[in-house]
A and B are shown apart, each in its own frame.
Chain A
């Protein structure tokens, strides 16, 4: 069974008196431990699809199932609980909490969402921060880190609760190419280490090539799917 099942999903936004069709009848299926990219120009529906798969928004029509859970049926509290325990998020602008250190940012979901005991938290935080190469910088606040370092901390925060699925919306958009490549390679490494499925959106063709599966979107429609097994083998 697939980890993510998107079936005939549409999303319509009401902008004043105008209806904007952000997604039209999209269906796709993503397997466990996949490294998937959503590609398309700005306004093609990438973020909308990620938001729907991430239980941040509800589809106007269609059905989404993630890890066996139908997302359409969840209320606000259940949705928050589902996101906290089964999903991880990486955002374009890093979205770290500025008053917390790198370590505390990573620890945050374990405290506020999962209520894990202290020793368990410390172990999990150390493991992911070492995995993303940020353990030495653990006591720095976001303002003291570079963009690439902040995104590595954000990846660590997304992974610390060991979710099955991490959704990353334009994770490299605010980074230079070197940092962007490093973050994508890091995400792939994490996927290999932890068996986590990564779905990230991008419009950077140099980054797209890192994905195993590429879904191309345009004007809210899924216009193509590509398997990128050659690139994956090269990386391995």
Chain B
């Protein structure tokens, strides 16, 4: 076998320029796929991380019907204390759940005493929220607040950056928040602006934050009801499995009409970025298809020419007794070696490229998010997949020429001019 590969490699370098040209094409294909999937993968991971760790959380549970009415933030679709307890019981029993946090979501009017505007508020329990969304603090700009201190205290409000800029609100200012209660009455509370929150992509990306106790006071909610329960799981790769487990447990609870009480969604259903992520995956697949075409055409062309140019030589080696299987093996080894050399070269250049991209930081803006840092990393399973695809396609492309060589009659091949 080693000897077959040794001869195959020497045959490849018989026409160096032609071989290097084909190899270069394959190398570029591999490079393109690895760099794109690494860069796009990094972007996807960054965005998903931003969305799940700094805003939405990985999974959310609501009362049935809330998500379809999320634009109006209906208070009558809050989870009652009894329903919330059921949810807590289910989550406490699931070993894959790392932590969870209750939230009340409300629409209100914000005033700086000069101007008013609408604001969507996320009322949180800071200690739980920071565990579910560990990157939330990074979105906040505080003035003089020590890093270890609670995200938000009763009486404080975090204002979205666009609103703060529009109303010229600064940290330390006092504002009034007025909200409709469940019964239709209106209530208002004064808040001190404790910080500014950076806008993020998605439905919760433009919301302000207050303490959950203030929300209950503002909305005159006597009982500890919540709008949603945000969940973080231990292993993000097992998201769908954990989602299914919790969904199955929740589905046991039905209202008197036999309809489910709860609804559960992963971040994918809640954020429009999921569609972008799908498009990125689709583009990666498209790149792989282009790469397969490049490999197929390059190897097939090179090997067909190789067989055509070496008919007499094939006649000689067949005449001296080389079995057809070994003749075929010789050409398959050539195709395989070409693919192996090219994929190793492509992967090496791609790894070097990724390394350089990490040294010379690439920053970009996406929507309203600015100064995002692209940190592509080498995904070794992706490298293995790409290499395997190239090798399989190289061998596949060599099959026809190799079979043709193996089927040649020595007497005809020796007569070939």
Q: Which of A70-93 contact B (CB under 8 A)?
A: 76-77, 80-85, 87-89, 91, 93
Q: By the criterion CB–CB under 8 Å, are A83 and B321 in contact?
A: yes
Q: By the criterion CB–CB under 8 Å, are B319 and A54 in contact?
A: yes
Q: Which of B316, B324, B326 contacts A97 (CB 8 A)?
A: B316
Count B-side interface residues using an 8 Å CB cutoff: 24
Q: By the criterion CB–CB under 8 Å, are A98 and B14 in contact?
A: yes
A-B contact list, 10 entries, CB within 8 Å? A54-B319, A80-B321, A84-B320, A88-B320, A89-B319, A95-B315, A95-B414, A98-B14, A98-B313, A158-B320
- Which A residues lie within 8 Å of B324 (CB)? 76-77, 80
Q: Which of B3, B4, B7, B411 contacts A56 (CB 8 A)?
A: B411
Q: By the criterion CB–CB under 8 Å, are B7 and A99 in contact?
A: yes
Interface residues on A, range: 20 to 34
Residue A57 interfacial (CB < 8 Å): yes
Residue A51 interfacial (CB < 8 Å): yes
Instruction: Give 10 A-B pairs besides A98-B313, A157-B320 with Cβ atoms closer than 8 angstroms.
Output: A82-B321, A84-B320, A95-B312, A95-B315, A95-B316, A98-B14, A99-B7, A100-B10, A112-B4, A112-B321
With A95-B313, A111-B3, A112-B326 in contact, is A56–B319 under 8 Å at CB? yes
Q: By the criterion CB–CB under 8 Å, are B14 and A109 in contact?
A: no
Q: Which of A57, A80, A93, A95 contacts B411 (CB 8 A)?
A: A57
Question: Can you name the residue of chain B whose Cβ is closest to the Cβ of A161?
Answer: B321
Compute how far the CA of A76 lies from the CA of B336 in the bound complex, rounded to whole angstroms.
26
CB distance from B11 to the nearest CB of A (A): 6
Q: By the criterion CB–CB under 8 Å, are A112 and B318 in contact?
A: no
Residue B286 interfacial (CB < 8 Å): no
Compute how far the CA of A97 lies from the CA of B322 in the bound complex, rounded to whole angstroms.
13
Q: By the criterion CB–CB under 8 Å, are B312 and A80 in contact?
A: no
Question: Can you name the residue of chain A whose Cβ is closest to the Cβ of B318?
Answer: A80
With A89-B320, A112-B326 in contact, is A99–B411 under 8 Å at CB? no
- Which A residues lie within 8 Å of B316 (CB)? 89, 91, 95, 97
Q: Which of B4, B313, B321, B414 contacts A109 (CB 8 A)?
A: B321
CB distance from A115 to the nearest CB of B (A): 10
Residue B317 interfacial (CB < 8 Å): yes
Compute how far the CA of A51 lies from the CA of B415 in the bound complex, rounded to whole angstroms.
11
Compute how far the CA of A76 lies from the CA of B328 in the bound complex, rounded to whole angstroms.
14
Q: By the criterion CB–CB under 8 Å, are A112 and B313 in contact?
A: no
Q: Which of A83, A93, A100, A112 contacts B319 (CB 8 A)?
A: A83
CB distance from B226 to the nearest CB of A (A): 76
CB distance from B13 to the nearest CB of A (A): 8
With A95-B312, A98-B14, A99-B10 in contact, is A81–B321 under 8 Å at CB? yes
CB distance from B325 to the nearest CB of A (A): 8
